[in-house]
Structure 1
Amino acid sequence: MKPTTRGTLAAVLAGVAAAVGAAATPAAAAGTVPVPVPLEGAESSLGLELPEVGGEVPVPMPGDPAGPRHVEGRLLPERAVPQLPVSGGLPGLGLHAPLPHVLGEGFDHLAVDAPASGLRTLAPGLTLDAPLTPPNPDAFGLPGLKLPEAGVLTPVLQTVPGADLGLDDGR
C-alpha cells in the first residue's frame, strides 16, 4: 500500500472515530438518557389534546473504592471490605397536560417538571481487627492478646431532588 493511501485511510478512520466519540459524549456526560412517551398517534386518532410526557433515566456510574489502608497499631488494614461509590441520579419527569378553564381564561395547561437529580451512594463496608496486638519488644517480639474488633461501615445516600409545578396558557 502506498504511503499516501495509508495516510488517507488513517485520516478517514480518525475522522470516523472522532464522529462516533462526539455522538456518544452527550449521553455519557449528562448521566441520563431521555425517554420520550409518544402520544401523538393516540392524540390524532382520538381527536383531543393529550398530555406531553417525557422522562429521564439515570445511568449509574461506579467509582473507585477507597481501598484498605494500614493504621499503626493494627495487624489488619482498616476497611477490609471497602465501600464502593456509585453515582447516578433519580429519574426525571416532564409533564405538560391540558386543563379545563378552572382558574380562568389564562390558565389552561398544567406543567410538572421534576428534572433528574444527582445521587451519590456508598455501599456498606467492613472493618476487622485480629485478636492480637502488634509484636511487643518487651515480650521478646511476641504479640499480646486483645478483644477482636469488627465493624460495619454504614451506607451513604446523598441527593437533592426538586420539582416545579405551574399553570400556563399552553403556548
Structure 2
Amino acid sequence: MKSTTRGTLAAVLTCAAAAVGAAPAAAVGAAPAAAAGTVPVPVPLDGVERSLHRELPRIGGELPLPLPGAPEGPRYVEGRLVPERVVPQLPVSAGLPGLDARTVLPEVLGDGSHHVGVDAPASDLRALGPGLTLDAPLTAPDPDRFGLPGLRLPQAGVLTPALRTVPGADLGLGRGL
C-alpha cells in the first residue's frame, strides 16, 4: 500500500472515530465545552481499579475558560485636560474550578456500602483589573488670564481591582457509589 493511501485511510478512520465518539454527547444534548464556559476534566482510575481489584473513588473536575471583556473607555469630564480613566480597567469573566468526588464507605455491621461525596460546581468569577486615572498640573484655559491655563498640583489615582464570586459546595452521604 502506498504511503499516500495509508495517510488518507488514517485520516478517514480518525474522522470516523471522532464522529462516533461525539455522537453519544450529541444524543444526550450536551453542549460543547466552549459554549459551556468550562472544560470537564475526568480522572481515569479504571486501570488502577482493575489492577488492585478494589473500588476506587470517582473523581472529576471542571476548569473554567477565562473570557476577557471590553474595557470601559476614558470619560471626558468638563474642567479636566486629561480624560478621567487614562488606563481603563479590564474586565475578565471566568470561574472557579469545580470538583466532583465520591468514595465508598464500607458498612461494618452489615452488607452493602455507602458513599461520601463532595460536589463543588464551577462558579462564576468576575474580575476587574486595576486602572489608572491622572490629571495634568494645568487648569483649563482661563479667559481672565488671556486664555492661559493656571497651575495646580498634579493628581494621580489607582482604580482598585475588584473580584466577585459566590462559590458553593455540597457534601453528602448515600447508598452505593
- TM-score higher than 0.5 here? yes
- Structure 2, unmatched stretches of 5+, are 1-25
Q: Scaled by the length of structure 1, what TM-score is found?
A: 0.82
Q: Establish whether residue 75 from structure 1 lines up as the match of residue 99 from structure 2.
A: no
Q: Establish whether residue 28 from structure 1 lines up as the match of residue 21 from structure 2.
A: no
**Aligned mates of 2:43, 2:137 — CA distance in 1:** 59
Q: State the match for 2:151 in structure 1.
A: 145
Question: What amino acid is the match of 1:36?
Answer: P
Percent of residue pairs bearing the same amino acid type: 72
- Structure 1, unmatched stretches of 5+, are 1-22
Kept after mapping to 2: 8 A contact 1:49/1:98: yes
Task: Tell me which protein shows more strand as a share of its residues.
Answer: 2
* 1:39-70 residue CA offsets vs partner (Å, 9 max, x unmatched): 01101110010000000000000000001111
Which of 146, 167, 172 in structure 2 is aligned with 1:161? 167
Q: Establish whether residue 50 from structure 1 lines up as the match of residue 72 from structure 2.
A: no
**1:29 partner SS:** helix
Q: Scaled by the length of structure 2, what TM-score is found?
A: 0.79
**Aligned mates of 1:137, 1:105 — CA distance in 2:** 94
**Aligned mates of 2:109, 2:124 — CA distance in 1:** 35
* 1:17-47 residue CA offsets vs partner (Å, 9 max, x unmatched): xxxxxx8x63222110000000011011100
- The two structures, once aligned, show a CA RMSD in angstroms of 1.8
Structure 1 runs (4+) greater than 6 angstroms displaced: 102-107
